[in-house]
Amino acid sequence: MAHLTLKQRYEISALFARNISQKEIALQVGTSESTISNEKKRNKKSDNLYDADVANNLAAKRRKDKKSYKFNENIKISIENLLTKQYSPEQIVGVLKKENKKTMSHEWIYQHIYKDKKNGGKLYENLRQKRKYRKKRLLTKEKRGVIPNKVMIADRPPEVETKERYGDWEGDTIIGGKHQGAILTLVDRKSKFTYIEKLDGKTAKSVENAVINFFKRTGMPCKTITFDNGKEFTNHQEITKEIGVAIYFANPYHSWERGLNRSGEP
């Protein structure tokens, strides 16, 4: 079932109260009808009514109660063996689940592959899109600009991937129609809480101010933020200095590494 944000749950609660059909709720919230149906079945109150706060707490508890994954040598060997057989990370997750083996998400497997590449390994050569990827990276210039002193996602603490704690955020920007205006989005990986703010412009300074002001104003926990490679995140060091957060960057053209917050980069 797709993960819903607290904002979406408030919308669902209000629409249920108006006796709107699940099909119409799905259209308005922007998800599938089955997600709405499952959401009500799994996260309703004891009196069979739906309340956004109760639903959000139940969903968070369910995720917390799942046993945490420990990456052991046997799982690592299984993943790497399947990679050599040209299985995609998405397929590997499916195979391991069928074998009742615990595994991380396909996003984590991609991170493992590119961390291996950074250390001189060859796992990336088994990816089906490697030629396209290598050509893009070696023969073209990064069009989105160079961000100084950035720390890549491969060096991000592994506990961020498990989504077991609050305060690990993903950040992105969305450009308005005809490239008019911009919006900053921040999503907490554990709670799925989403913050949206309209910016004065898609500049590094406007993003810097918006991020700093949000966390100072709300006092919300902030341990890490993972951004994409847009030039609007150039002032990441200033953000770190002001609020003490560790900032990481997804690999260019790897939007899946920010699975909760991505605006469709190439």
Q: Report the length, in residues, of the chain.
A: 266
Convert the pLDDT of each residue in 142-168 to its tens digit: 444 578 888 888 888 888 888 889 999
Convert the pLDDT of each residue in 13-51 to its tens digit: 889 888 899 999 989 888 888 899 999 898 888 777 889
> What pLDDT sits at residue 119?
86
Radius of gyration of the chain (CA): 20
Are 266 and 256 contacting, i.e. CB atoms less than 8 angstroms apart?
no
> What pLDDT sits at residue 48?
79
Are 144 and 229 contacting, i.e. CB atoms less than 8 angstroms apart?
yes
> What pLDDT sits at residue 242?
93
Q: How far apart are CA 139 and CA 116, in angstroms?
A: 22
Q: How far apart are CA 28 and CA 8, in angstroms?
A: 10
Please name the residue ranges forming H helices in 119-194.
130-139, 159-162
Q: How far apart are CA 158 and CA 180, in angstroms?
A: 38
Query: Above 80 in pLDDT, residue 196?
Result: yes
Q: How far apart are CA 147 and CA 141, in angstroms?
A: 13
Residue 168 three-state SS = strand
> What pLDDT sits at residue 193?
93
Q: Reduced to 3 DSSP states, what percent helix, strand and coil does the chain have, rounded to the nearest 5?
A: 50, 10, 40
**Global model pTM greater than 0.95:** no
Which residues make Cβ contacts (< 8 Å) with residue 7, sequence separation at least 6?
Answer: 194
Q: How far apart are CA 249 and CA 221, in angstroms?
A: 19
Q: How far apart are CA 42 and CA 13, in angstroms?
A: 14
Q: What are phi and psi of 211, to 5 degrees?
A: -65, -50
Tokens of 175: 């450009």
> What pLDDT sits at residue 62?
74
Are 78 and 96 contacting, i.e. CB atoms less than 8 angstroms apart?
yes
> What pLDDT sits at residue 147?
87
Tokens of 257: 């590494």
